[in-house]
Amino acid sequence: MTNKPENNPPAQEEPLSRPGSTETISAAGAAEVVISDDKYSCWIVIKRSSEGALPEKGAVLRAIEDAHIKQELIKNEEIDRIFTEVIIDQKVLIAQGQPKKDGKNGSVKYLFKTGIEDLLKEGEKGKVNYKEVSFIQFVSAGTPVVELIPPEKGTPGLTVTGETIPVKDGNPAQVPSGINIAVSSQNPNQIVSTLDGSVSLKRNKIVVDPIVVIEGDVDFSTGNVNFKGAVVIKGGVKSGFSVKSQSDVTINEVVEDAVIEAEGNVTLKSGFVGRGVGSIKAGGDIFLPFAENQSIYAGGSVYVSDVLLHCTVESNGKVIVSGNKGVIGGSISAYELIEAQSVGSQTFTKTILSVGMKKETREKIEQWSTSLKTNRGNVEKVNKAFGVLNKINLLKRGLPPKHQQLYNDLVAVRTKLQDEEKQLIALKTELEEEQKKTTAATIKIIQKIYPGVRIEFGTVKKIVQEEIQKVVFMLKDDEIIVVKS
């Protein structure tokens, strides 16, 4: 064999063995076979003999064979390249094992819509058609509501010496829990409804509620409605009546001065009007086109497609009013965000926007303030009584038995009042911690806000002095700041 000059071209960049591995070296004459500790990679190093000659290719192949390298994993083209390019004293990767592939775990595929985003469908102009929104998803008994995607088996790996690399198979998906569902008798990978009803995902549980459908209005012909499952009313709800559900409520026509209560979501498709004695209370979200003079409370968020007129709205999530008229009058409170096209009016209609504090926290603060005032008033009365008894004690050089008993009773009352004040101080600390979360809340005005509107972030307040276009209100360092959007 004719030797080429020592100025050899650079060899292929050698892959590193895996972190933490060492190398096992097998040598046969001037050919060294190098195997990584994990036996996943194999290199060869060619050296000249003492006479300066290269080993024969057959000797190199025998060295590889002696190292028990699996034939089908050998890169023969790399061995040829060593001799073609005369690569000396450099590691060249000539075999690599097959990587293992652990099996993919099984998963759960819901066959119904599980989130608000799925339920909100935009129309041609990019706006949500609230009349088409409904949380009621009908299913019949036997309908699949969940598909269990089976786990995959792993693919074993192979070392360069032909040993199998252990692999893990995927774990099966955990069968979801729920109410009125069961594993299908025909397909063990499907969960089906066991009754006709409305399917939803509540606190990570699949719930199929039975449904009551009222074809007309809720009025004297039906009486009040109180149902454990979902309620669908194709008419409206007349003044003085109530609809209560442990699930979701959907009402197609106008709700008047009525009471609507749902542990789930409430969807009104034709508005909510009256003289101010009607109310909606939902544990979840509320959707409606407009409301006037009414009270609305949502454990989730409130979405209004047109206008809120002189309403009291409280939300533990967001209040979003997408109609151009926005919010006129009333009090709107949300924990995370209030977003409206416009707020207030040119006639300085009293309008309050409050964010950053949940209803429960606000009630605690009000209760704390009342309790503290009562406590201090009682302390003042006790102190006055002590003053009177002290005067009697000085005049008579001692207290008569009945006054002494009163004195002892007052001591006990004062101790109790002192304990109550300590509890109130501890509660104040807890409430202050809750108020710190106010800084994450936002009020966003898409078009304009009129003067006279009161902005509140927790206990920090601000009156808008002039009309402002496209603005965002935020709280920074206990001060309400205005940012142009």
Among residues 236, 254, 286, which one ends one of the domains?
286
Task: Write out the E strands in 224-361.
Answer: 225-227, 230-233, 242-245, 249-251, 259-262, 266-268, 272-273, 279-282, 286-292, 295-298, 302-315, 318-321, 326-334, 337-343, 351-355
Q: Quickly state the pLDDT bin for 27 (edges 50, 70, 90).
A: very low
- Residues 179 and 266 occupy one common structural domain: no
> Does one domain contain both 52 and 33?
yes
Q: Does residue 364 lie within any of the structural domains?
A: yes
> What pLDDT, on a 0 to 100 scale, did the predictor assign at position 452?
94
Residues 216 and 154 in one domain: no
Beta bridge partners of 287: 267, 303
**Residue 131 and residue 154 in one domain:** yes
Asked, for residue 418, whether it belongs to a domain, the answer is yes
Give, as one character, the DSSP assignment of residue 119: H
Cα–Cα distance for residue pair 32/47, rounded to 1 Å: 8
User: Is 426 found in the same domain as 374?
Assistant: yes
Edge to edge, what strands does the sheet with 144-149 contain?
107-110, 144-149, 190-193, 181-183
261, 286, 311: which is the final residue of a domain? 286
Residues in the chain: 485
Which pair of tokens denotes residue 178? 């729920």
Q: Which domain holds residue 45?
A: 23-96
Are 35 and 120 in the same domain? no
pLDDT of amino acid 383: 83
Side-by-side strand order, sheet with 205-209: 138-139, 197-202, 205-209, 178-179
Q: Is the pLDDT of residue 2 over 70?
A: no
Q: What is the rounded distance in angstroms from the CA atom of residue 338 to the CA atom of residue 478? A: 19
Structure letter (DSSP) for residue 313 = E
Query: With 90 as the cut, is the pLDDT of residue 296 above it?
Result: yes
Span 214-268, pLDDT tens digits:
889 999 888 898 888 889 999 999 999 999 998 899 999 999 999 999 999 999 9
Alpha carbons 413 and 50: distance in angstroms, whole number: 106
Domain-located, residue 276: yes
Residue pLDDT, tens place only, 461-472: 999 999 999 999
299 close to 284: Cβ distance less than 8 angstroms: yes
Residue 324 maps to a domain: no
Lowest mean pLDDT among 14-28, 150-164, 278-292: 14-28
Give the orientation angle of helix 76-85 with respect to helix 57-66, to 10 degrees: 140
Does 184 share its domain with 216?
no
Do 86 and 115 reside in the same domain of the chain?
Answer: no
Considering the domain architecture, whether residues 228 and 244 belong to the same structural domain is answered as yes
Q: Which residues face 225 on adjacent strands?
A: 243
Mean pLDDT, residues 349-353 = 95
- Which pLDDT score, from 0 to 100, does residue 28 have? 47
In angstroms, the CA 405 to CA 114 distance is: 67
Q: Above 60 in pLDDT, residue 4?
A: no
pTM to 2 decimal places: 0.57
Q: Assess if residue 102 is contained within a domain.
A: no
Token duo for residue 211: 């449904």
pLDDT of the residue at 369: 73
Residues 186 and 220 in one domain: no
pLDDT of residue 154 exceeding 90: yes
- Choice between 351 and 411, residue whose per-residue pLDDT is larger: 351
Amino acid 105: pLDDT: 95
When the pLDDT of each residue in the chain is averaged and rounded to a whole number, the result is 84
Number of domains in the chain: 4
In a domain, 451, yes or no: no
What does the buried/exposed string (b/e) look like for 335-354 if buried means 16 or more CB atoms within 10 Å of the residue's CB? bbbbbbbbbbbeeebebbbb
- Note the pLDDT tens digit of each residue in 372-405: 788 888 888 888 887 877 777 777 777 778 778 8
Please check the confidence at residue 115 and state whether its pLDDT lies above 90: no
Handedness of CA 435, 439, 440, 442 (dihedral sign): positive
Evaluate whether residue 333 is within a structural domain.
no
Q: Quickly state the pLDDT bin for 354 (edges 50, 70, 90).
A: very high
Looking at 146, 177, 208, which one is the last position of a domain?
A: 208
If asked whether residues 111 and 198 sit together in one domain, one would say yes
Q: What is the pLDDT of residue 311?
A: 97
How far is the C-alpha of 481 from the C-alpha of 462, rounded, in Å?
A: 10
The answer to whether residue 146 sits within a structural domain is yes
> Quick one: 192 and 242 in the same domain?
no
Percent of the chain residues topping a pLDDT of 90: 50
40-75 residue pLDDT tens: 999 999 887 666 667 788 888 888 988 999 999 999
pLDDT tens per residue, range 298-328 = 999 999 999 999 999 999 999 999 999 999 9
